[in-house]
Structure 1
């Protein structure tokens, strides 16, 4: 039988997967990817935990995918574009496709726990503005990370 329900006790018993962002060694978190456990293919639904002083990810923005975060416990700095905002339990952040670059940093003295939900499109492009990098992700292909200053933009005409 396919799994549709995960109980609170089951969720609490999940160890989670420890992750360090490939572009930021200070971006370390533990993921409990609940959507994967029930076979969700088009959205990711995660409970993440970030220890004090660590970040959720490298500052980035997506051009095609949307994400959102709901803070369950703790306090953090949410960097959104060029602004920092203090966020805490009960706060919600929505990141629109093509919107501002973003990340979280745990500024408290306890674990920051959040629900993170995001699309899983077959294609996405993400910028890492502080690193001047762009990531291309396409289904069935390896990811491509390029230096934004070295991207050629040929005028090749219109595709019919």
Structure 2
């Protein structure tokens, strides 16, 4: 399976090669991906999901996980789980070889994702995705 290269719209350093294992097997409610991150790159922009849950398992390589603004070294065999509404997180490849991981998560029809370092919120409704400034969101 050829990987798809993607760059996160809020982080040009977040470049990853993704193989969607769930799509190859017909899964529709669970996203299961084999992700490769080259040295010096990140997995995504620092974020947290308000409704979806996700988890990460490191297969090879080394890096750093920023979780709730704290940095943790990670390597093969490490597992991280992120409950909905939980801590914001991202991974960086700080090593000299590709960081290879499995990322799994729900595929809800609707989700909200906060990007606290960018001050942005993403609303997802099916194929529709809209970024807004967190400063403009009402605080009910």
TM-score, structure 1 as length reference = 0.85
TM-superposed deviation, 1:82? 1.4
TM-superposed deviation, 1:15? 1.7
Q: 1:74 aligns with which of 61, 68, 71?
A: 61
TM-superposed deviation, 1:152? 3.3
Q: Would you identify which runs of 4 or more consecutive aligned residues in structure 1 move more than 4 Å?
A: none
Q: 1:151 aligns with which of 130, 137, 140?
A: 137
Query: Which residue of structure 2 aligns with residue 117 of structure 1?
Result: 104
Say which one has the larger Rg. 1
CA distance in 1, matches of 2:34, 2:126: 25
Query: Which residue of structure 2 aligns with residue 28 of structure 1?
Result: 15
Tell me, what secondary structure is at the counterpart of 1:36? helix
Tell me, what secondary structure is at the counterpart of 1:94? strand
5+ residue gaps, structure 1: 1-13, 155-160
Higher relative contact order (CA 8 A, sep 6+): 2
Cα 1:91–1:148 shift into 2, 3 Å: same
Query: Which residue of structure 2 aligns with residue 8 of structure 1?
Result: none
CA distance in 2, matches of 1:152, 1:112: 39
Query: Which residue of structure 2 aligns with residue 105 of structure 1?
Result: 92
Query: Which residue of structure 2 aligns with residue 16 of structure 1?
Result: 3
Query: Which residue of structure 2 aligns with residue 139 of structure 1?
Result: 126
Query: Which residue of structure 2 aligns with residue 3 of structure 1?
Result: none
CA RMSD of aligned residues (A): 1.1
Q: 1:65 aligns with which of 41, 52, 75?
A: 52
TM-superposed deviation, 1:153? 5.4
5+ residue gaps, structure 2: none
Cα 1:153–1:84 shift into 2, 3 Å: closer
